[in-house]
Structure formats: C-alpha cells, structure tokens
Amino acid sequence: MLAVWPLARVLARHIVEAVFAERAQRPTAWPPCPTCGTARRSKGFAQRQLTSLLGPIRWRRRGGRCPHGCDIPQVAPWDEALGVQPHQRTSGELQCVGCALAVFGPFGTAARLLGWYGGGGVSPRAVWGWGQAAGPQARARLQAELAAVDKGHGPTPEPLLEAQAALPLVLGADGVMVPFRPDAGAPRGTIRWREVKGGVLARLGQQRTRTGQSVTRLQQRRLVAVLGDIETLRPRLWLEALRQGILQAPRVVWLSDGGRGVWRLFEEQFAASSVGILDLYHAAQNVWKSAAAWLDGRTTKAHRWFAWARHRLRPGTPDGVLADLAEA
C-alpha cells in the first residue's frame, strides 16, 4: 500500500491537471470593469500553482484586465470558479485537514502527517496560520446560521442513513469549570476558573456483543460547547438539534442531571419536542437522601429500601418508589 500510494497520487494529480487545462480552454465570460463598466479582455495565459492533498498542482488559465487601463487588479475567472484566492498557495481541502489534525496534536505533528500524506513539506507555522484564519470564518458561519434560525429558516439537516434516522435521539447539557491562564501564552499568575457549558446529541442504537447480549451504543455523536452560561449555550444547542433532526426523530429524550438552569433550558426550548428524564445516578442520589432522612441511613432497613428503590428506577418504573415516599 505504501509503495502504491505515491503512484496513485501522481496519477490523480495528472488527471486533475488535465481537467483544469481542458476547462481553461473553454470560452470565458469576462466580467465588466467596476470602474468604467467595459467588459474586460484577455491578456493571455498565466501559470498558477497550488499545493493540494495530492501534492503541487499546476495549470494555466486566462487572466484579464480592463482595455481602458483602469487601475484595477487582474482577474482570472477560472480561479474564481475553483474558489481560489489571488495569493492562495494551498488548497482549502489541505487546510481543512491540517486544522483537523491540529485539534488532536501539536502543529508540528500535524505538519509532519500532512507531509507524509501529500508528499510535500508543510511548516508548523503554516498549520497555525490556517487555524487562525479558520476561526473567524467558522464564527461568521455560525452567526449567519443562528440569525437564519431566528428568522425561521432552519439549517440543512445532516445526512443520515435510513437506519440511523429511525433511532431515538438523546440530548442533554451540563457544565464544568475549566482553568485558564491569566496571561495568554504565559504560565505566570493565579489560575482563573471559568465555566464551560456543553451539550451532547446522539442516536441510540443497539448492538450485539460476542456473547449475544444486546447493548446500547451511541451513534452520530455531536458536541456543542461554549465558554459562557446556559443562555449562551441555548441557541447553539438548538441549532445543532435542528441539524440532527430533532423535529423528525421518532422519539427524542432529554437526559441530564437536576441542575435548575439545565431544566429551565429544557422547559423553555426542548419540552415541546422531547421527553425529559433525570439521569439514574442523580435520581438514586436523591432517593438515598430520602432514605437517610426517612429510615435513618445507618439502619439495615434504609439500605434494603434504597436497594429496592434503585432497582425500580433503573428500568424506568418509579411509581412504587414515589408512592412510598409520598406515604412517608
């Protein structure tokens, strides 16, 4: 495989360059000059090079200027059709893969892996620069999507397999305190703790183990996180829920702990489209508090009743537990 991959990469690069060369020969519709309005004219062919996932790709395309000599830059319609910026040296796909690798490792490691894959050298600083440029672009896209949702225009649903679309959708939210340095890039000073709110969405699928037991497995997992409070999380979590098909799923479950802010978010945003469930661990914790107050937590009777109650809670049959507590 390692011996064949360079050959496959070279072959693919030649195919792409041949397609580019053929497309560049087609008639070009020149845009008008923004200054005088006259249609621009061709100034001949000029070479362009771009480093891609396949390695360096070279092609020749027409460039045009205003025939009246207006002080405007030269344009290349074929570059615009490809989505290539005037001074861009690397393809968007290569930058996207580099940013994804940098999420899971240092910039130097990401650059080395890209070099192995594409057969060319990429500097760690270039990967860092791609990430710096991708951040504002991602924020701009997010703000545009949030504004569209506010106007009643939902996002494009993420494609799902038919089997996945038929599975229940589960989501929930929680918070965690994260340590931050007081001065960016420097370890000096007292750590500042800030709150991060996060939400998780997943489809609940079933899988058979080697022993034949049926177990639940999370599929199509998606994470939403914000540096801020629950109100900052609300629009972003709802946006992702729409993208994951919350309005089309056969059943939707909100599962979380008993935090008041979390359940307020559920009541105000998700109650109309999902069923709220307090997770087992926090439910059992509160049931034990009840047992300790009712039967004295040091007694055998309290432990026995708690074991019975927890056994009833696990399959989702709490009526008997609630009846006992109400009677007590």
Look over the chain and give the mean of its residue pLDDT values, rounded to a whole number: 90
| Residue/partner pairs of 175-178 with CB below 8 Å, 24 or more apart | 175/230, 175/259, 175/261, 175/262
Q: What percent of the chain has pLDDT over 90?
A: 50
Phi–psi pair at 129, nearest 5 degrees: -65, -35
Whether 82 shows a pLDDT value over 90: the answer reads no
The reply to whether 225 falls in a domain is yes
Number of domains comprising the chain: 4
The reply to whether 145 falls in a domain is no
Which amino acid is it at 293? A
| Residue/partner pairs of 91-95 with CB below 8 Å, 24 or more apart | 91/50, 91/51, 91/52, 91/53, 91/57, 93/52, 93/53, 94/51, 94/52, 94/53, 94/118, 94/122, 95/130, 95/133, 95/134
In the structure, what pLDDT confidence band is assigned to residue 197 with cuts at 50, 70 and 90?
Answer: very high
Question: What's the CA gap between 99 and 128, in Å, rounded?
Answer: 8
In the structure, what pLDDT confidence band is assigned to residue 174 with cuts at 50, 70 and 90?
Answer: very high
| Whether residue 81 is found in the same domain as residue 98 | no
- The answer to whether 12 touches 4, Cβ cutoff 8 Å, is no
Question: What's the CA gap between 255 and 262, in Å, rounded?
Answer: 10
- Which domain, by its residues, includes 119? 94-138
Domain boundary among 278, 295, 316: 278
The reply to whether 173 falls in a domain is yes
Average pLDDT over residues 112-121: 82
pLDDT of residue 172: 94
pLDDT of residue 30: 83
pLDDT of residue 78: 86
Question: What's the CA gap between 254 and 143, in Å, rounded?
Answer: 25
In the structure, what pLDDT confidence band is assigned to residue 294 with cuts at 50, 70 and 90?
Answer: confident
| Whether residue 40 is found in the same domain as residue 56 | yes
Average pLDDT over residues 92-116: 91
The reply to whether 249 falls in a domain is yes
Phi–psi pair at 87, nearest 5 degrees: -110, 20
| Whether residue 68 is found in the same domain as residue 128 | no
| Whether residue 271 is found in the same domain as residue 177 | yes
Burial of 160 (0-12, 13-18, 19+ CB in 10 A): middle
The reply to whether 258 falls in a domain is yes
| Whether residue 34 is found in the same domain as residue 72 | yes
Helix (H, G, I), strand (E, B) or coil at 166: coil
The reply to whether 150 falls in a domain is no
- CA distance readout (Å), 249 to 62, 146, 243: 50, 22, 11
Whether 150 shows a pLDDT value over 90: the answer reads yes
- CA distance readout (Å), 137 to 94, 224, 256, 309: 16, 17, 32, 52
The reply to whether 186 falls in a domain is no
| Whether residue 28 is found in the same domain as residue 65 | yes
| Whether residue 256 is found in the same domain as residue 217 | yes
Q: Count the residues in the chain.
A: 328
pLDDT of residue 144: 95
| Whether residue 172 is found in the same domain as residue 256 | yes
Question: What's the CA gap between 252 and 270, in Å, rounded?
Answer: 9
The reply to whether 157 falls in a domain is no
- The answer to whether 150 touches 239, Cβ cutoff 8 Å, is no
| Whether residue 168 is found in the same domain as residue 217 | yes
Average pLDDT over residues 178-198: 86
Where is pLDDT greater, at 121 or 311?
A: 311
Residues 6+ away with beta carbon under 8 Å from 123: 111
Residues 6+ away with beta carbon under 8 Å from 44: 62, 63
Which amino acid is it at 285? Q
Tens of pLDDT along 244-268? 999 999 999 999 998 899 999 999 9
E-strand ranges in the chain read 41-52, 55-65, 169-180, 192-208, 214-227, 252-256, 275-278
Average pLDDT over residues 197-209: 94
Where is pLDDT greater, at 158 or 2?
A: 158
Tens of pLDDT along 27-50? 888 888 888 888 888 888 889 898
In the structure, what pLDDT confidence band is assigned to residue 298 with cuts at 50, 70 and 90?
Answer: confident
| Whether residue 37 is found in the same domain as residue 99 | no
Question: What's the CA gap between 263 and 242, in Å, rounded?
Answer: 19
Block residue for tokens 């914000």: 226
| Whether residue 215 is found in the same domain as residue 321 | no
Question: What's the CA gap between 323 and 328, in Å, rounded?
Answer: 9
pLDDT of residue 204: 95
β-strand partners of 67: none
| Whether residue 124 is found in the same domain as residue 59 | no
